[in-house]
């Protein structure tokens, strides 16, 4: 059999083929873009706690991943025979093909997105909640950018799959590459030459888009970004030069800032908080200590709504703030969460944002001022914790101690009256602990109300007005540091015999 190379080469500039290429590009791109958007919504529905949404999303994914695309194409194209009103759109092979491809691919892309969402650490969502950001804002600003970056390699591969699947749309007479080739070789019987040209055009489209998507992956890879030097305008310099007001530790502490009344929390059959009562006065620094599993972290997390209470309630500045059902307090903190700052054990900085963007995020979301004022305030907070020169770096470019100081600045940016610290130094190397504790000690000297879960006993005895010792979900002792140190309780003495207290 003779292979006509001249004819095969002539097909490489055939007008009909290039028009068909444009159709394939438009169809593939539209399917991918719509599928990525719709797939993310479907993935969120699959992850929803609402059982109806969860079941419906799961049913959609199961059905359309099981249904062959060829069957769906024929069904959609003939749908106007049953529903004539759909004829205005679906009688056009392009839109019929686009509809079928989107319906099918959304199910596959949703699972890719679900993998990306599951790849975003839970702490990222909790950090957003602690900053008072609502569910939609957390998804838009925190989860989606990170999930897309995680899922992008798989999404890029799915685009290539979509581009090749467009060949199936020829069954409903859309003039794409394969159908153009079929029409040619039915006329001249040059099957091999024509199929070689068809293969060339598909490989060309896939190669071009593979390069484009590869560039997008590299662009979204924050590990490749170099930090920019910080440039301050005169307004920012004047703002930073202004001395900050400091209340001092001698401020009056008669007013109650936070009151915990009978707090109970259980996980299944295990009760981790067994009726905790705690009063925190304004300007007071309280360290919460005790053996592992005593309920320290559970207590601190219930104070800002990261964990719901199964009993009891929390009052903030004398008003009901959080509580179990029937206590007269809301189950969720609402807007008043902004009055309580939270610093996590594992930092929970947003990795796709610079240091400055991390600190500005919550004030910007809550519209606390114009862009210039928010930037100046964020720079002031970074200067306060000694991180001003690192404003344009990303979290991965910082040490653990530096990340924790940025986390403190981010919490302070909302100007809370109370700060919660959940073991702020436990994830740090020993040589980095001091730089974080120095910042916390400075806040204590300025009169900030603070509750600190810590294993740094020397620090706790140095800065605290009171020390709360917990064991087995109960408060065993709540007293000034000197009384705790001198306690004759055998359980407290046994605890201190295993830890270093300078």
- Per DSSP, 224 falls in state G
Model pLDDT, residue 253: 53
Give the pLDDT confidence score for residue 115 in this predicted structure: 94
In 298-339, DSSP assigns E strands to 311-316, 319-323
Q: Which of 220, 238, 271 is the last residue of a domain?
A: 220
Residue 265 lies inside a defined structural domain of this protein: yes
Same domain, 187 and 317: no
Given a cut of 50, whether residue 249 has pLDDT beyond it is: no
pLDDT tens digits along 373-418: 899 899 999 999 999 999 999 999 999 999 999 999 999 999 999 9
Mean pLDDT calculated for residue range 128-133: 94
Do 451 and 373 lie in one domain? The reply is yes
Q: Do 183 and 286 fall into the same domain?
A: no
Average pLDDT over residues 246-254: 48
- Both 335 and 188 in one domain: the answer is no
User: Residue 270 in 3-state DSSP?
Assistant: strand
How distant is the alpha carbon of residue 460 from its chain centre?
32
Are 36 and 109 in a shared domain?
Answer: yes
pLDDT of residue 223: 76
Residue 248 falls within a domain, yes or no? no
Asked if residue 233 is part of any domain, the answer here is: no
CA distance 327 to 320: 9
Do residue 341 and residue 428 come from a single domain? Answer: yes
Whether 118 maps to a domain, the answer reads yes
Domain around 216: 5-220
Same domain, 208 and 261: no
End residue of a domain, out of 220, 242, 270: 220
Which of 129-143, 197-211, 420-434 shows the lowest mean pLDDT across its residues?
Answer: 420-434
How far does the chain reach from its first CA to its final CA, in angstroms? 92
Q: Say what the pLDDT of residue 251 is.
A: 45
The enclosing H or E element of 422 equals strand 418-422
How far apart, in whole angstroms, are the C-alpha atoms of residue 356 and residue 229? 12
Predicted confidence band of residue 247 (pLDDT cuts 50, 70, 90):
very low
How many residues are present in the chain? 502
Residue (of 468, 464, 411) closest to 437 by Cα position: 464
Distance CA(37)–CA(337), nearest Å, equals 31
Instruction: Say which residues have a Cβ less than 8 Å from residue 161's Cβ, sequence separation at least 6.
Output: none
> Which whole number is the average pLDDT over 34-62?
94
Handedness of CA 377, 381, 382, 383 (dihedral sign): positive
Cα Dmax for the chain = 102
pLDDT at position 252 is 47
* Tokens (6 digits) for 319: 């008003």
Nearest by Cα to 283 from 485, 450, 454, 69: 450
User: Domain check: are 176 and 321 in the same one?
Assistant: no
* pLDDT at site 138: 94
Task: Supply the DSSP symbol for 143.
Answer: I
- Domain check: are 66 and 209 in the same one? yes
Q: Among 220, 241, 271, which residue terminates a domain? A: 220
Query: Residue 69 corresponds to which tokens in the numbers above?
Result: 């695309």
Q: How confident is the model at residue 296 (pLDDT cuts 50, 70, 90)?
A: very high
pLDDT for res 244:
53
CATH number at 38 reads 1.10.3720.10
Q: Is residue 239 part of a domain?
A: no
In a domain, 240, yes or no: no
Distances (CA, A) of 419 to 65, 187, 262, 338, 431: 48, 79, 21, 11, 24
Helix H or strand E encompassing 494: helix 490-497
Could you tell me which of 259, 162, 141 has the C-alpha nearest to residue 210? 162
- Residue 13: count other Cβ atoms within 10 Å of its Cβ: 8
- Integer Cα distance of 239 and 373 in angstroms: 9
Number of domains observed in the structure of the chain: 2
pLDDT for 256? 86
**CA 347 to CA 422: how far, in whole Å?**
10
Looking at the fold, whether 32 and 105 belong to one and the same domain comes out as yes
CA distance linking residue 304 with residue 411, whole number of Å: 13
pLDDT at residue 190, rounded to an integer: 84
The mean of the pLDDT values for the chain is 89
Same domain, yes or no, for 21 and 76? yes
CATH code, 352? 3.40.50.300
Encode pLDDT of 201-235 as tens digits: 999 999 999 999 888 888 888 877 777 777 766 66
Please answer whether residues 318 and 258 qualify as being in contact, where contact means their C-beta atoms are separated by less than 8 angstroms. no
Domain membership flag for residue 250: no
What integer pLDDT is reported at residue 243 of this predicted model? Answer: 57
What lies within 8 Å, CB to CB, of 488 at 6+ separation is none
Residue labelled with tokens 């592992």: 292
- Least confident range from 193-202, 220-229, 283-292, 334-343: namely 220-229
Q: Residue holding tokens 């056009």? A: 92
Judge residue 187's burial from the number of C-beta atoms within 10 Å of its C-beta, 0-12 exposed, 13-18 middle, 19 or more buried: exposed
Asked if the model's pLDDT at residue 433 lies above 90, the reply is: no
Tell me, yes or no, whether 339 and 215 share the same domain: no
How many Å apart are CA 295 and CA 213, to the nearest integer? Answer: 48
- What does the DSSP assignment read for 144-190? HHHHHHHHHHHHHHHHHHHHHHGGGGGGGT---HHHHHHHHHHHH--
Within a domain: residue 236? no
């Amino acid at each position: 059999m003779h292979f006509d190379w001249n004819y095969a080469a002539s097909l490489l500039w055939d007008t009909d083929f290039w028009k068909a290429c444009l159709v394939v590009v438009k169809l593939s791109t539209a399917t991918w873009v719509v599928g990525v958007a719709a797939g993310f919504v479907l993935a969120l529905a699959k992850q929803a706690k609402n059982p109806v949404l969860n079941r419906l999303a799961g049913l959609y994914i199961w059905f359309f991943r099981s249904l062959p695309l060829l069957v769906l194409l024929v069904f959609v194209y003939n749908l106007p025979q049953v529903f004539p009103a759909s004829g205005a759109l679906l009688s056009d092979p392009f839109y019929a093909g686009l509809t079928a491809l989107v319906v099918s691919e959304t199910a596959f892309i949703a699972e890719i997105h679900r993998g990306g969402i599951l790849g975003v650490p839970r702490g990222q969502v909790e950090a957003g909640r602690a900053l008072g950001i609502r569910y939609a804002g957390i998804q838009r600003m925190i989860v989606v950018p990170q999930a897309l970056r995680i899922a992008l390699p798989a999404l890029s591969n799915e685009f290539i799959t979509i581009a090749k699947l467009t060949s199936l749309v020829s069954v409903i007479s859309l003039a794409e590459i394969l159908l153009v080739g079929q029409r040619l070789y039915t006329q001249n019987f040059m099957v091999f030459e024509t199929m070689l040209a068809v293969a060339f055009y598909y490989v060309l489209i896939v190669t071009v888009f593979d390069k484009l998507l590869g560039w997008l992956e590299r662009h979204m890879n924050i590990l490749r970004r170099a930090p920019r030097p910080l440039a301050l305008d005169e307004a920012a310099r004047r703002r930073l030069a202004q001395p900050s007001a400091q209340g001092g530790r001698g401020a009056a502490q008669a007013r109650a800032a936070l009151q915990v009344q009978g707090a109970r929390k259980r996980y299944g059959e295990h009760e981790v908080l067994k009726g905790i009562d705690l009063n925190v006065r304004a300007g007071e620094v309280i360290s919460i200590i005790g053996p592992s599993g005593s309920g320290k972290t559970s207590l601190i997390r219930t104070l800002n709504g990261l964990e719901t209470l199964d009993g009891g309630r929390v009052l903030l500045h004398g008003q009901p703030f959080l509580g179990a059902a029937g206590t007269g307090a809301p189950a969720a903190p609402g807007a008043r969460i902004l009055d309580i700052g939270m610093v996590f054990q594992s930092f929970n900085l947003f990795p796709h944002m610079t240091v400055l963007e991390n600190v500005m995020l919550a004030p910007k979301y809550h519209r606390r001022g114009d862009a210039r004022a928010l930037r100046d305030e964020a720079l002031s907070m970074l200067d306060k914790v000694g991180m001003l020169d690192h404003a344009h770096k990303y979290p991965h470019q910082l040490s653990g101690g530096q990340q924790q100081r940025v986390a403190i600045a981010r919490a302070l940016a909302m100007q809370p009256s109370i700060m919660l610290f959940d073991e702020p130094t436990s994830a740090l190397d020993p040589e980095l602990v001091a730089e974080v504790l120095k910042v916390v000690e400075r806040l204590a000297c300025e009169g900030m109300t603070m509750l600190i879960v810590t294993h740094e006993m020397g620090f706790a005895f140095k800065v605290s007005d009171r020390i709360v010792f917990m064991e087995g979900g109960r408060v065993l002792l709540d007293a000034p540091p000197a009384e705790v140190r001198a306690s004759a309780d055998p359980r407290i003495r046994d605890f201190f015999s295993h830890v270093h207290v300078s």
